[in-house]
Amino acid sequence: MKKLIPLVLIALAVTGCGSDDTTKGSADRTLTVLAASSLTGTFTQLAQTFEQRNAGVHVKLVFDSSATLAQQTIEHAPGDVLATADQKTMDDAKTGGGVDGDPKQFATNVLTLAVPSGNPAHIATLKDLDKDGVDYLTCVTTAPCGAAAQKLLAGNGIMRKPVSEEVDVKAVLAKVVAGEADAGLVYATDVTASQGKVTGLEVPGAADSPNTYWVAVAANAKDDALAAQWIDFLTGGEGKAVLEAAGFGTAG
């Protein structure tokens, strides 16, 4: 059953089970990075490079929704670096005492309308979401991707509501990939990451108000130096290259 794999992805997205890499090596130093789930691909790649460059360092990645991770830093859950997919959640983390110092913006991402391969509902533009019988998804409005989607839909005069508000962008993507929806508002990077399983359609006005990605050292960090090193690496040339390849903007 080919259909099973996307469905399992839905399950993983919904439960927030990400790649919780708990490999215990002989590493002397461990860096725990809490990152928004839209960073899954890029951060996994960057972590490998970072480990190669810094012998004895092990990077542990935790992916979840930005809001959940921000809350976790406020509660002083284990973690050295927090990377969120919008400014608001980072501000919340800072206000709540979850991060130290000044957060840095390191990437931007724009919303795209993703349609499943084959585009069964024949969607050409965002306006088509207003057609009867088109089922589209967004993130829940409390999540950054949902808040942005709401703004864009209103800006483009779309009256019909989504059939469901998924808790994060991965859940939206998984349902579109599985053909359980005709379209979904996801990030440009998600379309890139889907490797052709969905097609991205440009959303008018999306580029004008991109989502911004922020990174900061967690207040509870065990290894501040290593955390700062990761942030430098991320915002340096190598980090930028990887982010851009994945569809992020880095010109902020």
Interface with another protein by CB under 8 A: which range of 148-156, 173-181, 197-205, 223-231?
Answer: 173-181
Q: Which residue in 57, 82, 93, 167 binds another protein (CB under 8 A)?
A: 167
Q: How far is the CB of 178 from another protein (least distance, A)?
A: 7
**What DSSP line would sit under 57-75, residue for residue?**
EEEEEEEE-HHHHHHHHHT
163 contacts another protein (rule: CB under 8 A): yes
Q: How far is the CB of 137 from another protein (least distance, A)?
A: 8
Interface with another protein by CB under 8 A: which range of 31-39, 42-50, 104-112, 175-183?
Answer: 175-183
Q: How far is the CB of 52 from another protein (least distance, A)?
A: 35
SS3 192: helix
Question: For the chain, first and last CA: distance in Å?
Answer: 43
135 contacts another protein (rule: CB under 8 A): yes
- Number of Cβ within 10 Å of residue 240's Cβ equals 17
- Looking at beta carbons only, is 8 or 154 nearer to another protein? 8
180 contacts another protein (rule: CB under 8 A): yes
Q: How far is the CB of 214 from another protein (least distance, A)?
A: 17
As given in the structure block, the two tokens for residue 229 are 């090193």
**What DSSP line would sit under 91-138, residue for residue?**
HHHHHTT-EEEEEEEEEEE-EEEEEETT-TT---SGGGGGSTT--EEE
Number of residues that bind another protein (CB under 8 A): 30
Interface with another protein by CB under 8 A: which range of 24-32, 179-187, 200-208, 226-234?
Answer: 179-187
Separation of alpha carbons 109 and 197, rounded Å:
19
- What are the two backbone dihedrals, phi and then psi, of residue 34, each rounded to the nearest 5 degrees? -95, 120
Buried b (16+ CB within 10 A) or exposed e, 32-48: bbbbbbbbbbbbbebbe
- Looking at beta carbons only, is 8 or 124 nearer to another protein? 8
Q: Are 168 and 63 in contact (CB under 8 A)?
A: no
State the DSSP code for 37: G
140 contacts another protein (rule: CB under 8 A): yes
178 contacts another protein (rule: CB under 8 A): yes
x/- contact string, 7-36, with another protein (CB under 8 A)? xx-xx--xx---------------------
Q: Are 146 and 184 in contact (CB under 8 A)?
A: no
x/- contact string, 47-76, with another protein (CB under 8 A)? ------------------x-xx--x-----
161 contacts another protein (rule: CB under 8 A): yes
CA torsion through residues 163, 164, 169, 172, sign = negative
Residues making contact with another protein (CB under 8 A): 1, 3-4, 7-8, 10-11, 14-15, 65, 67-68, 71, 133, 135, 137, 140, 142-143, 161-167, 178-181
